[in-house]
Amino acid sequence: MRNLFAKDSKKNDEENLNLDRLPKHIAMIMDGNGRWAKKRGLPRTAGHKAGVEALREVIRTCSELGIGYLTLYAFSTENWKRPVDEVSALMKLLVYYLRKEVKELHKNNVKIRTIGDISKLPQNSLKEINSAVDLTKNNTGLVVNIALNYGGRNEILNGVKGICQKVKNNEINIEQIDEDYFEEFLDTKGVPDPDLVIRPSGELRISNFLLWQIAYSEFWFSNIFWPDFNRESLIEAIMDYQKRDRRFGGIK
């Protein structure tokens, strides 16, 4: 794992970006909202609101660059442990964002998808999510996967249960099970594995995110809190990714 902490102050010239070596799939852990707010003497909810602006810029940049897939870790299975008022604020913010942005996203050919068990979300949140997914389902541009009530361990466990049921019903035999078959039972079915995983905020954890899919992903960590993450930050991460020698366990 190289460049664990990128220099946040570094300026990038987008002209140096190699458009032929862009990651097809970027996964992002949107972390640091609460600490961003605390640093400014604000409630944690203010940090989440500020994080929406960063999200808007990241999606716009990925769409303009021609990135194929962007997966955003928005709410984990563990986030239910947070204070009730913070969880409620996050759900309301999700509704606000979708209502405000979905028409513009649709106009720009962005396709919205979700991963995780969204059935556990409040009804008003679920309604907005399903509406956004339905509106954009035929779009052919950037695919934005929003991870909601998502956990990597839970996803793998559900995949194992699904395959076990197939075996139990004599629909398949054990010898048929390989990596490709198993991936058909994951939330990310049909989506290529992330080439680049980005985590701002200074934390060096995966936090139960895409545990199966990131086996050979490149990682980019930064001290930037998510609300301060912008186009320049994303370009810097991609340029660093383009310096990596990806061998996938082999030797060139």
This prediction's pTM: 0.91
Domain boundaries, the chain: 22-151+194-241
Q: Residue 154 catalytic?
A: no
Q: Which of 7-11, 39-43, 92-96 has the lowest mean pLDDT?
A: 7-11
pLDDT tens digits for range 193-222:
999 999 999 999 999 999 999 999 999 999
Q: Domain spanning 22-151+194-241: which CATH class is it, in words?
A: alpha beta
The CA angle 177-178-183, to the nearest 5 degrees, is: 100
In the structure encoding, which two tokens stand for residue 192, read together? Answer: 């290529």
Q: Which of 29-43, 129-143, 207-221, 237-251 has the lowest mean pLDDT?
A: 237-251
Of the residues 3, 12, 79, 230, only one is catalytic, namely 79
Burial (CB < 10 A; 0-12, 13-18, 19+), residue 76, is buried
Q: Which of 60-64, 88-92, 143-147 has the lowest mean pLDDT?
A: 88-92
Contacts of 63 (CB under 8 A, 6+ apart): 108, 109, 110, 141, 142
Residue 95: pLDDT band (50, 70, 90) is very high
Q: Residue 79 catalytic?
A: yes
CA atoms of 187 and 184, how far apart (whole Å): 8
